[in-house]
Amino acid sequence: MVHDPVPSLLARATEQLEAEFGALPAFEIGVDTGAIAKVLQATAHRLGDNYPYFHPLYAGQMLKPPHPVARAAYALAMTVNPNNHARDGGRASSEMEIEAVHEIAGMFGWTDYLGHLTSSGTLANLEALWVAGQLAPGRRIVGSEQAHYTHKRISAVLKLEYASIPADNRGRMSVEALETELRKSDVGMVVVTLGTTATGAIDPLDEVLALRERYGFRVHVDGAYGGYFRLIPEALEEPARRAYAAMGEADSIVIDPHKHGLQPYGCGCVLFRDPAVGRFYRHESPYTYFTSKQLHVHPSEHKSLAGDPVHLGEISLECSRAGAAAVALWATQRLLPLSPGGEFARGLARGRAAALELDRRLRQDRRFEPLAAGEPELDIVVWKLNAETKELASGLAQRAFVACAARDLHLALVELPVAWFQPVGGKAGEVEAGMVTCLRSVLMKPEHEAWLDRIWDRLSAACVDVLGE
């Protein structure tokens, strides 16, 4: 464990918050501190039955520890426990949410938009697809076969037909296959993923936008994982650079601050380029929206910080929503602004550098086979074990996963087409069909760069156990 400065800092901030309400009459909260202490000790013990998500040796799933300021701000806000559905339940935290979302929208060059936080990336994507269905009822939603599985599920919930578009051997949506679907003239929205869950692949957003001019459909960018990489284009390959440069032309964008944004779960964010889509959210709530009537405007009139503030529940499908999430995000972005070249952006670049170095070492080691098409596009690295068949390779990957965990190195397993790992340019008929189980590493912590030698040493030692070499 690392030294945690949060408790002492939080104690001082809590004193300040109590002083803010110092004019109120004092009252006692009746609690049994002894009983609470015992329960908290038991809670801490139970929480020990987890992978060490906070540690650099955890490099498996998309789990990045919240920044200390986010944890402290969230806990501080829980003293008040604001609800950002209405200003009556979260006056200060609603303003903080509007300010924090404004900075996120600024990454994409948007100043006139509709946007808010959500309790998850899934809910954020649901809102984007729901708006698409409102604008073009009955038209299909399409996305890459490597898009997050929730898009298909969300479409089913919304009673919208969903179709998967084949991906290339880097996991990116095939533009040619997409155009085949577009020629059917019934597509209402294309979901473009910037940072797929499996490999961190970047769909060619710029090419999809060019097709929009010809076929007329909405473009939704699912940047839940990779959206923040807009801040470091110089660290990316040219195709990814072009995709990120085009983000501002999308119709809607989702980004998850609880991934690269250093936030606790759950904190997603949805943005719409046209604020007029707020008309679809319009509803009446005579028991909720009564504070500050002079500030009450209809969602269709909401123009981010440029206009009068609204109750956030008027532009959201969710009702009660943790204001503490907005407070934590606001505090983090105040400490670490979302600016190119800033400390936050440098942290992204360090994770990206770690991924490139791990990929380089894998390619120089005959025990491993990384993706044949090239280096990772973001900070996710996948590779298979070198074996005569995909069945043998899958078994070795599973054994290596266990052997790494025994050395406190925690990776992940993923199933991918075996053809993605075969040499590019092979003759027709030589490509093996089917899926193979691979090892996967998400190097999203800035500390991963400094810890890469230790990660590599543990991986190599585990493979000696598995492969005997």
What is the pLDDT, as a whole number, of residue 290?
45
Task: State the DSSP H helix or E strand holding residue 91, giving kind and residue range, or none if neither.
Answer: helix 91-106
Using DSSP, state whether 16 is helix, strand or coil. Answer: helix
Helices (H) and strands (E) in the chain, counts: 13, 11
Task: State the DSSP H helix or E strand holding residue 219, giving kind and residue range, or none if neither.
Answer: strand 218-223
Angstrom distance (rounded) from CA 51 to CA 269: 27
Superfamily of domain 343-467 in CATH is Aspartate Aminotransferase, domain 1 (3.90.1150.10)
Q: Within the chain, which residues score under 50 in pLDDT?
A: 287-308, 424-429
Angstrom distance (rounded) from CA 213 to CA 206: 11
Percent of the chain with pLDDT over 90: 79
Task: Tell me the domain boundaries of the chain.
Answer: 91-335, 343-467
What is the pLDDT, as a whole number, of residue 283?
65
Q: Which two tokens stand for residue 41?
A: 């000790």
Using DSSP, state whether 253 is helix, strand or coil. Answer: strand
What is the pLDDT, as a whole number, of residue 284?
60
Using DSSP, state whether 339 is helix, strand or coil. Answer: coil
Q: Which two tokens stand for residue 116?
A: 């808010």
pLDDT tens string 118-132:
999 999 999 999 999
DSSP symbols for 134-203: HHSTT-EEEEETTS-THHHHHHHHTT--EEEEPB-TTSPBPHHHHHHHHTTS-EEEEEEEBS-TTT--B-
- Do 343-467 and 91-335 have the same topology in CATH? no
Q: What's at 116, amino acid-wise?
A: H
- Give the right CATH number for 91-335 from 3.40.50.1970, 3.40.920.10, 1.10.1750.10, 3.40.640.10: 3.40.640.10
Q: Where are the alpha helices (DSSP H) in 321-389?
A: 323-335, 343-363
What is the pLDDT, as a whole number, of residue 301?
41
Omega before residue 266 within 30° of 0, cis: yes
Q: What's at 420, amino acid-wise?
A: W
